[in-house]
Chain A
Amino acid sequence: MAEAVPGGIAFDTTVPVTQASADAAAVGVAAAAARRDHRHGMPTIGAAPGVTYAGGNTTEATTTSTTAVDLLTVTGLSILAATPFLFVGGGRKTSGAADFAGLGFKINTTVIALPRDTWSTTATNEAQNGSYFQFITPRVTNYLLGGAGFYGVTGATDSNAGTTFLGAGANMPSVTITDVVIRALVVNALITIGADELHIYTLATS
């Protein structure tokens, strides 16, 4: 029901709508005015499937690729060339075949470590999981292979561990690092490799 006020403006009891994403603007046709303290509903931010914000559902990255694939990325970084940093993460493989699976990494768009150079399972046909740790020194002239790390992986009957160094891939770029990309492959497509919980930490230099 409309409520007339001095000046001839009318209000009613219509509740403001909840806008939907991509709604188009419109002049409107109602003959009643809006109250100045009215409030519209808003859709939940992050409702778009496939994009997750803090508090939303996520899952691991997985692949059955038998050639190197970009599996897990942390982007939006700005790590200066003179800043040392490290990253840690987890990896796993499913059972399915008596073969290896492994992880390597890229920095920005440059392949630094081939899959299995950063983390490698054994060839035993069983589920295995583990972690890797990679330390990267400042990227300055003549010091572009300054990376070392270690990893471990365990299954019900077999395990593997090792230390890693750079050299099989390219030199690290001596520019600001914006992306760290974990690459993966499985030697047999009946195995699935998963990677998750990649975290990157920069270190203070003074």
Chain B
Amino acid sequence: MLYCFLGYPQCNLNAGGLQHCVEEVERLAVLEHDPAIQHSKEGVFIVHGSVGERQGMFEYRLSNQLDQLGVTWDWFPENWGFGNGVTVHKTTANRETMLVDHRTGASINDLLTSGHPIELGKLIVQQVPKRTEGWVEYERRWRPGTCPQESHIIHITWVISKHELPNFAYNRLQRIIEDPSTVLQDVDRYLEKHFSPTRRWNGEADNKERLKLLTGF
């Protein structure tokens, strides 16, 4: 059964660390690790090399926090691969922006290529988000009205267990992933490799600088 939670584990466990927690330290669940079993949006498959044979649909549960944010089953596109075991997934959504003339709404690029003289000193320019095909497609994955309207990162952590979790195990798992105040049990049983460092995200700023080097724009 697939369990999805919002964010990366707040105690900074990575997928291997969370698996160690669930299977070895707190013994909350038996996870699916069979290298022939792959979960995807369309169902569970038995895979042989690059070929998969569909076995049927599987049960899944999305946490309340995901639901409240606007992430439902529809958020995952066609052919989405959940694999098995534990995954801390990361999606970066890039919102493109453009400079427009504040009074007319025309883009600066359109003005400059119009063939008419432009008195740049009189322009009041504004940076506005673009509704590109890619953004519209992404926005459609969210419950209507909930998609953040600027560049962002969303982490989703999922766990695939062999059996349905009892309530106490589900609640504990949810707290470990979603509640920053939760303390790990037997913390001395974890190794450095079980944790991922966090860092600050600088958005697209760095990308734009690098892009200039490549394109000259």
Asked if B83 and A65 make an inter-chain contact with CB atoms under 8 angstroms apart, the answer reads yes
- Residues of B181-217 contacting chain A, CB below 8 A: 193, 196-205, 207, 210-211, 214-217
Query: B105-134: contact bitstring with A at CB < 8 Å (1 yes, 0 no)?
Result: 000000000000000000000000000111
A130 at the interface (CB under 8 A from B): no
- Give the docked Cα–Cα distance between A52 and B8 (Å): 11
Contacting pair A55 B202 (CB below 8 A): yes
CB-CB < 8 A to B31: which residues of A?
189
Within B72-103, which residues are at the interface with A (CB < 8 Å)? 77-96
A-B residue pair count with CB separations less than 8 angstroms: 225
Chain A interface extent, by class:
35 or more
Minimal Cβ-Cβ distance residue in A for B68: A22
CB contacts (< 8 Å) of B6 on chain A: these are 49-50
B53 beta carbon closer than 8 Å to chain A: no
Given A75-B93, A111-B79, A199-B207, residue A49 in contact with residue B10 (CB < 8 A) = yes
Q: Give Cα A71–Cα B95 distance, bound, in whole angstroms.
A: 20
B interface residues, how many (CB within 8 angstroms): 76
Residues in B whose Cβ lies below 8 Å from that of A50: 6-8, 65-66, 69, 154-156, 178
Q: Decide if A69 is an interface residue (CB 8 Å cutoff).
A: yes
List the B side residues contacting A191 at CB < 8 Å: 16
B17: A residues at CB distance < 8 A: 192
Q: Are B134 and A77 in contact (CB under 8 A)?
A: yes
Are the CB atoms of B200 and A75 closer together than 8 Å? no
Whole-angstrom distance between the Cβ of B182 and the nearest chain A Cβ: 12
Write 27 A-B pairs (CB below 8 A) sorted by A numbering.
Answer: A49-B6, A49-B10, A52-B153, A54-B151, A58-B90, A59-B197, A60-B196, A61-B87, A61-B89, A63-B15, A63-B88, A64-B33, A66-B33, A67-B37, A67-B81, A70-B81, A76-B132, A76-B134, A95-B193, A96-B193, A114-B50, A189-B19, A189-B33, A196-B90, A199-B207, A201-B210, A202-B215
